[in-house]
Structure 1
Amino acid sequence: MTPAPGDPAPAPGLIPRDSLLPNLEFPFRDLNSRVTPTECFYVRNHFPTPALTAGGWSLTVGGAVLHPLRLGLEELRSLPSRTVTATMECAGNGRTFLSPRPRGVPWELGAVGTARWTGVPLSAVLERAGLPEVVAAWEVVLEGADRGVMTEPVPSPGEISYARSVPLAKALDDVLLAHEMNGEALTPDHGFPVRAVVPGWYGMASVKWLTAVRVVPGPFLGYFQTVDYAYWEEKDGLPPQLRPIGPLQLKAAIARPAPREVVPCGVTYEVTGAAWSGEADVARVEVSVDGGCTWADAEFLDPPMPHVWRRWRFRWQTPEGPGSRTLLARATDTRGRTQPTCHDPARGSYMITHPLPIEVDVRESSP
């Protein structure tokens, strides 16, 4: 993407968002490629990073399978692998834009990234373990080696592991047991030696430091499936019910200008960003430079690709006079759905997909 006039130097490294754990945000204003370099990819931890070694790691596959398995890393890597490119976003990305400010890691815009993931399809491992005749309600629980005690939003019953589940149909479709990221072995921050990658879903489903896979004949009701990473849903006239967060929701985000950036008067400024969705391709992005009063189409820089963001740009003729401006972006997908105009309070501090206001200061250039 072409730098805008007066661009400052790119921000070095990742932005710490937690004083206790390595929760690190990509400076979204530095978005300049479709695939995010590993060293720039955001990091989300719930517990301290476990100390794992390639030789000491193993994966157990159990539950309702015919032949429980234990696979070492070399054995897993010997199975046929594939590489998928997928965008991953933390479910709380954009939380700082909510008012009042909710609990949780104070992500701004950069808890999102796209990587090339290489590993073994989970379906191949499950087929090797053998599945009995199953029903649609079955799930696959993914459990990591990271453990600890949760105090918010509700205290956990002592020390627990990080675990999430996906429907069996999703597990058999495209879930990956990844051991490489962007052509290199996973780093400890990104789940070495093996993590799950669930394309098209929020990042909480892509369990890092994976050590156990269990098939269960019914819904998994673990802490990170019900107490946290869940939202209220009203459906079929029933009272609100808690649902686990799953697929990515449609979203467009502005990378440049960054929040609170100073923009020169009377220049052509290239507004840039990315848009993504979990269940359909992004078909259109519109930009508003007047707080949502009017909208105009942006230009895509990338072709559509399942589960991968599309970068876009919009050439903005900035005002001749100084003042504050609010920029917004919104996406429409191939199913005709457009981002909601405001945040749904039933989602709490998650799935923040309304157009996020980017406030900038337009000033006259220094002589």
Structure 2
Amino acid sequence: MNKQYQGSETSTEIENVSKSTQGSFPGLIIREKEPANYEYPFPMLDDFITPDNQFFVRTHFPVPDISSKDWKLTITGEIENEFSINYHELKMLPSKTVVATLECAGNGRANMVPKMKGLLWEQGAVGNAKWTGVPLSVLLKKAGIKSDAVEVILEGADKGAITEEPKSPGEIHFARSLTLTKALQEEVLIAYQMNGKDLTPIHGYPVRAIVPGWYGMASVKWLIKIIVVNKPFDGYWQTLEYAYWSRPDGHPSLKPVSEVQVKAQIARPALSELIEKGTTYTITGAAWSGEKAIEKVEISINEGKSWEVVDLTSQPMPHSWVLWEYNWQVPIKQSKYKLMVKATDCAGNTQPSEHDADRRTYMINKIIKHEVEVQ
């Protein structure tokens, strides 16, 4: 499970990764061939850090071909000093390493009834890694932020035209914005390494953003431009996609998806796994909650009639998942059982029993009934 990907990191090689890890990792699950969208088989979870080759892949357009030699990042907009920085110059700046969980905003869509629009991720559009780079705040302070600035747009080199509804107005880049407050937090990185190695092309090489605590769409890959603006960004990926309905004054309006919602998932047993009656089975999984650390995870063997607190097997911390386990005394009665888990973070947020329709196809953290069979 800990073997790291050492190839040339093309999408074809990632699809065939099981050839180099036979007997340990079966390979990523293809949700879409092109553009590349691959899911981690969550029942394989057994480590706090997700190896590069096992980390889920989310792309909207073909992976751009960029060399570190030719790459540069431009910082522009509502700033005093516009400038560009190349790969070598970026790596000469003081670096920081953070551990952060990235989750796709649509993770869990396959569990929803009726069927939702979008990629039908099950559990595995999530992973936890060590990211190394330069804090975004360092570059913003070097640029000199003007007093009227409110947001920071992150633009990637990946681009294309969206031909399905909602269609894009021709070819567009993938771009998302952060509030200025979030952009200045020291854990937000302009990253060039993942788990101690240079990023692979499919994970954003040569440079990407890492925005701990927010859903993965904020961590823009193949980063080429940072634009400081004096009004909220209303681009395609900020309003038509990766947005949900908010009703602050009773009238629904679209608001950008941002902070990760509290969530726990079962890794083992796998869905519909056969379990021997009368044995002790160690149920395992992970839980996470954006900006807050997980306080507790609870499990129910009787469809929510009662709950027990499980053991946390890693240190709870903001921005990162925590691993957990529970020793289940398996009944002697042969039957199907629906296991349920829920997490609560240190701010008291806990998982809901139903999905809020105003969240559209995003931020899916409802409690799931995980069926297994005792025989």
Q: TM-score, normalised by structure 1?
A: 0.94
Cα distance, 1:11 vs. partner? Answer: 4.6
Q: Does 1:295 align with 2:307?
A: yes
- 1:60 is aligned, of 74, 94, 101, to 74
Give the match for residue 216 of structure 2. 203
Give the match for residue 101 of structure 1. 115
| Alpha-carbon distance in structure 2 between the residues aligned to 1:297 and 1:223 | 42
- 1:225 is aligned, of 201, 221, 238, to 238
Q: Which amino acid aligns with 1:27?
A: P
Cα distance, 1:198 vs. partner? Answer: 0.2
Give the match for residue 151 of structure 1. 163
- C-alpha contact 1:272 1:312 (8 A) present in aligned 2: yes
| Alpha-carbon distance in structure 2 between the residues aligned to 1:49 and 1:322 | 49
Q: What SS does the aligned partner of 2:57 have?
A: coil
Give the match for residue 245 of structure 1. 257
Q: Does 1:308 align with 2:320?
A: yes
Cα distance, 1:99 vs. partner? Answer: 0.6
Q: Which deviates more from structure 2 when the two are superposed, residues 148-157 or residues 91-100?
A: 148-157
| Alpha-carbon distance in structure 1 between the residues aligned to 2:162 and 2:365 | 27
Give the match for residue 257 of structure 1. 269
| Alpha-carbon distance in structure 2 between the residues aligned to 1:150 and 1:258 | 35
| Alpha-carbon distance in structure 2 between the residues aligned to 1:255 and 1:80 | 37
Q: Does 1:81 align with 2:95?
A: yes
Cα distance, 1:10 vs. partner? Answer: 4.9
Task: Percent identity, please.
Answer: 50
| Alpha-carbon distance in structure 1 between the residues aligned to 2:242 and 2:177 | 12
Q: Which deviates more from structure 2 when the two are superposed, residues 183-192 or residues 288-297?
A: 288-297
| Alpha-carbon distance in structure 1 between the residues aligned to 2:33 and 2:87 | 33
Give the match for residue 145 of structure 2. 131
Cα distance, 1:293 vs. partner? Answer: 1.9
Q: Does 1:216 align with 2:225?
A: no
Cα RMSD for the two superposed structures: 1.3
| Alpha-carbon distance in structure 2 between the residues aligned to 1:315 and 1:211 | 48
Q: Can you list the C-alpha shifts for 1:60-82, whole angstroms capped at 9, x where unaligned?
A: 11011111111110011111111
Q: Which amino acid aligns with 1:345?
A: A
Q: What SS does the aligned partner of 2:319 have?
A: coil
- 1:317 is aligned, of 310, 329, 334, to 329
Cα distance, 1:216 vs. partner? Answer: 0.4
Q: What SS does the aligned partner of 1:165 have?
A: strand
- C-alpha contact 1:276 1:310 (8 A) present in aligned 2: yes
| Alpha-carbon distance in structure 1 between the residues aligned to 2:142 and 2:373 | 59
Cα distance, 1:279 vs. partner? Answer: 2.4
- C-alpha contact 2:268 2:283 (8 A) present in aligned 1: yes
- Shift in alpha-carbon separation, 1:356–1:10, aligned structure 2, 3 A: farther
Cα distance, 1:38 vs. partner? Answer: 0.8
Give the match for residue 32 of structure 2. 18
Question: How many aligned residue pairs are there?
Answer: 353
- 1:48 is aligned, of 59, 62, 71, to 62
Q: Which amino acid aligns with 1:199?
A: P
Cα distance, 1:166 vs. partner? Answer: 0.2
- 1:344 is aligned, of 342, 356, 371, to 356
- Shift in alpha-carbon separation, 1:251–1:57, aligned structure 2, 3 A: same
Cα distance, 1:326 vs. partner? Answer: 0.7
| Alpha-carbon distance in structure 2 between the residues aligned to 1:171 and 1:11 | 36
Q: Which amino acid aligns with 2:32?
A: D
